[in-house]
Amino acid sequence: MSYRHAIGTRAYVFEDMRTLLAKATPIRSGDQLAGLAAESAEESVAARMALADVPLTTFLNEMVVPYEEDEVTRLIMDSHDAAAFKPIASQTVGSFRDWLLSEEATTERLAAIAPGVTPEMAAAVSKLMRNQDLIAVARRCSVVTRFRNTIGLPGTMAVRLQPNHPADDLRGIAASIADGLAYGCGDAVIGINPVSDNMQVLADLLKMLDELISRLAIPTQGCVLTHVTSSVELINRGVPVDLVFQSVAGTEAANKSFGIDLAVLREGFEAGRALKRGTVGNNVMYFETGQGSALSAGAHHDVDQQTLEARAYAVCRAFEPLLVNTVVGFIGPEYLYDGKQIVRAGLEDHFCGKLMGVPLGCDICYTNHAEADQDDMDTLLTLLGAAGVNYIMGIPGADDVMLNYQSTSFHDQLYIREVLGLKRAPEFEAWLAAQGITGAGGRLIAPGQALQLLGPLAEIAQ
């Protein structure tokens, strides 16, 4: 069906839901590249006005990607929780926004409706929101997950310690891990992006992480961010795997470009669960996403990139993940051109994920050919900290020497903890205190206190 809204004497007509959502999206280079963006600010306003009047029930009847052609659409529709949706079923997109910003939308009520919120509903309402709205609502959404510690509690923010090395050198990785632990990072996960996909290299990395975590009794989890099929193979070989990782997208075709489908993810999920390696919970999946991935694969179905990103969270939600993060500026300026677009996308992604009940973190990042810099990342870090982001990245010097992009450093998380009073995962905080790395209030006593870890780490890395 078509949608319309008049501004003055000009009537704007949007031929279907895909067009309406795309034209209502705040401007970004990816939608312009795809030929989907509004052609003027006036057209964008008209689209938002028309979108505000759309009943939420419309999204249960009009699919942006056909049900018959796409297993992600089928997952969204077939798993929709009608009982959870009932309290908001009479609302339009506009009135849903008003309700989300009201005192009635408590943390408990937001958690209750989450299974009834489809990605398209979340994306639609986000398009009507200012940045402060996205922050205010997301802050009230609490999504808590557990493996060897507890992530996502109110007033906390975890950090993925990302010790990548351009040659997968165990000693270099161990040195970065020691550095990160010295600054109180690593409660989300100690996660390595490997250069190689060689099974022996992957196994050696996982064994090192396992020995490190076991020998030092660190209440955290390790992960080598390899393809889900490789993780399943490693599990079958008896290699210690904590978290099963995979990049995912919002359409079946885009996921095929990653070499996966829902059945493959289910296999990884079940293999990871069967190991029962968690101590306080069994959330075993780690997913990464990012606006523009479907478009870059030619698998976007003429849907705007932010709506497709929200659809990726439906894929994640089905597998009860410990961690999900949007690698927000990683794909490049073809999709998010500058700091302003990256900041907006990060807030949208976090809001949509949390509204859908997904434990969203963010890799606050950019590539060197984007019109962005570290000041933009400071801004997004501060806004996401205020919004209650579950976790961020901790990378030596904020410069990933293997993936060649800019993110957030071990020092950056200290800044946001100081400014906003954010604590670490409680089990990890207690371990840091026992090691003498932190003192009262979780403050670092001195990074040098962690030098005691270098000896065991060096032995493990041999």
At 346-397, the pLDDT tens digits run 999 999 999 999 999 999 999 999 999 999 999 999 999 999 999 999 999 9
pLDDT in tens, 104-155: 999 999 999 999 999 999 999 999 999 999 999 999 999 999 999 999 999 9
Share of the chain above pLDDT 70, in %: 97
Residue 240's alpha-carbon distances to 99, 146, 244, 339, 418, in angstroms, are 46, 18, 11, 40, 36
Residue 449 has pLDDT above 80, yes or no: no
pLDDT band for position 446 (cuts 50, 70, 90): low
Residue range 21-70, pLDDT digits in tens: 999 999 999 999 999 999 999 999 999 999 999 999 999 999 999 999 99
What pLDDT score was predicted for residue 386?
Answer: 98
pLDDT digit string, tens, across residues 71-89:
999 999 999 999 999 999 9
Do 248 and 289 touch, CB atoms closer than 8 A? Answer: yes
To the nearest whole number, what is the mean pLDDT of the chain? 95
- Residue 63 has a pLDDT of 96
pTM of the model: 0.96
> With DSSP H G I counted as helix, E B as strand and the rest as coil, what are the percentages for the chain, rounded to 5?
50, 15, 35
Does pLDDT of 1 surpass 90? no
Strands 222-224 and 285-289: unpaired
pLDDT of residue 352: 98
Amino acid identity of 342?
I
**Above 80 in pLDDT, residue 420?**
yes
Q: Closest Cα to residue 213, out of 174, 167, 259, 258?
A: 174
More confident residue, 156 or 460: 156
Mean pLDDT over 434-461 rounds to: 75
- Both structure tokens of 110: 């937001």
pLDDT tens by residue, 226-260: 999 999 999 999 999 999 999 999 999 999 999 99
Would you list the DSSP string of 443-457? Answer: -BS-GGGGGGGHHHH
How far apart (Å, rounded) are the C-alpha atoms in residues 366 and 331? Answer: 8
Question: Amino acid identity of 259?
Answer: G
SS (H, E, C) 12-53: EEECCHHHHHHHHCCCCHHHHHCCCCCCCHHHHHHHHHHHHC
Contact 415, 376 (CB under 8 A): no
Kindly state the average pLDDT of the residues 174-190.
94
Closest CA to 191 of 320, 286, 315, 289: 286
pLDDT of residue 441: 84
Closest CA to 392 of 119, 79, 238, 183: 183
